[in-house]
Amino acid sequence: MNLIAYGLSLLLCLTTTVLSAPGAGDKEWNATPNDVNNLLKSMKDLINVSYKTETASLAQIDTDPAKNPILYRSGHYNYSYTEEQRQKLRAYALSGGMLIYNTGLGSAPFYRSTVRELGLMFPEQPIQRLTSDHPIFHSYYDLDQVKYCPGVRKSGFMGNEPWFDGVEINCRVVALVSRWCMAVGWEDKVEPDYQAYEPSSAKKLGVNIFSYSSAMRAWAKSQAQAIKFVDKSESGADKVAMVQVVYDGIWKTRHAGLSVLMQTFNNKTEVPVKYAIKETRLTDPAIFNAPLLYLTGHEFFTLRKGEAEQLKKYLENGGFLLAEACCGRKGFDLSFRQLMAAVFPGNALKAIPLGNVIYQTPNDVQKVGVTPALQQDMGMAVIPPRLEGIELSGHVAVIYSPFGMAGGWEMSQSPYARAYDDISSQRLGQNILMYAVTQ
């Protein structure tokens, strides 16, 4: 069992709203009528959590997550929302609510409909499969591996890891889709041919989903207050500009972090900064006018043909790259290390020693605080800072943090982030910017 079960105290008054489908036959949305009730009863036995559930149509739903923190929908058939319904669900999710979709018996039509609808609902952040290190698989139970009914194997899927797809905005899953059915496992009514999780795995996944949702909804209230700074000057001359690298995948994990960091950097050093962040691909020649690039993400990624070569050229011509594994996620960490090994073979990322000026100006950073999730891994709440770099022509051209900082720049680290705490993230970020503009 994972010791960091942030959501449990908040689940004592949990309300889950099951979305009905007005005008549709009952079996289209309610083929397993006791699924959520049985899951919540299991939660009472497993983790001593009380519950409440209700059924409502989308028209009856309030967009305030405090009134219905979780919306759950299950089904077997194709469906679609109206544009008004999409906007209502979007407003609800961005306010801190969570949408959960269960594919009835692994229904491909329902799954495809949900993926399409979420793409229309959240066009700025594509849906993607969540890797096994995602906190949703570790919020209460550690579930890197699960048990499936034989019917899942007959579909051609041979893995043992759970399969959830999610829309993740500002480090929070706002909408979740289970590719394989959880509901029959919650009801203890599985058959060998079902494309579903076995009951033990289905129930533990359900506990994790609700624990994660509750913790993240509480955090979202404060995270939503992050300030976005806008550059109002007429000219960008003599200002530090930041370019965020766009790539195929989820390249924008936090929306206000860079702007907040630049503001605090300006307050600390009085170095003028440009708050508006340019977002572009590495193939854009404009990157050669940028004194520094920023690259981040959660999951595995690769660059398009020619992008790695352009990055190498940019860095060898005096450019600077700041990269971080947002929330300390392993997928991005592995991909970034592979990218650097391909761009600079024989010049590997190395730990930047504490005596380096990067840790000295404008802040003396010899110790940093860490988030509870990273504290659990490290065994201590305060550690020496850990940055890695690649030197080119006598200066550090690449600085990489395997632990998250962007959430701290926004002064709202995710409760599940393996990261530096807010103050340490800001101090380290300011030092990295100072190094980038003075070397």
Q: Which domains does the chain have, with CATH numbers?
A: 8-223 (3.40.50.12140), 242-438 (3.40.50.12140)
Q: What is the pLDDT of residue 122?
A: 95
Q: Tell me which of 66-70, 154-158, 207-211 is least confident.
A: 66-70
Residue 78 has what pLDDT? 94
Give the pLDDT confidence score for residue 263 in this predicted structure. 85
* Residue pair 253/406 in contact by the 8 Å Cβ criterion: yes
pLDDT at position 32 over 70: no
Mean pLDDT for the stretch of residues 160-166: 96
Instruction: Assign 233 a pLDDT band (cuts: 50, 70, 90).
Output: very low
pLDDT above 50 (res 2): no
Average pLDDT (392-411) is 94
57 has pLDDT over 60: yes
Residue 47: its pLDDT value, please?
55
Reported pTM: 0.81
For residues 406-414, average pLDDT: 90
Distance CA(439)–CA(429), nearest Å, equals 16
Tell me the pLDDT tens digit for each residue of 284-313: 998 998 888 999 999 999 999 899 999 999
pLDDT of 48 above 90: no
70: pLDDT strictly greater than 90: no
Query: Given this model, what pLDDT does residue 26 score?
Result: 41
Separation between Cα atoms, residue 74 and residue 76, nearest integer Å: 7
pLDDT for the residue numbered 13 = 37
What pLDDT band is residue 11 in, cutting at 50, 70 and 90?
very low
Q: What is the pLDDT of residues 352-384, one digit of tens each?
A: 999 999 999 999 999 999 999 999 999 999 999
User: What does the mean pLDDT of the chain come to?
Assistant: 85
The closest alpha carbon to 43, from 185, 207, 188, 202, belongs to: 207
pLDDT (0 to 100) of residue 10: 32
pLDDT digits 0-9 by tens, 74-124: 899 999 999 999 999 999 999 889 999 999 999 999 999 999 999 999 998
* Residue 42 in this model has a pLDDT that exceeds 70: no
Asked whether the predicted pLDDT for residue 12 surpasses 50, the reply is: no
pLDDT in tens, 240-283: 667 999 999 899 998 888 888 888 888 888 887 766 678 999 99
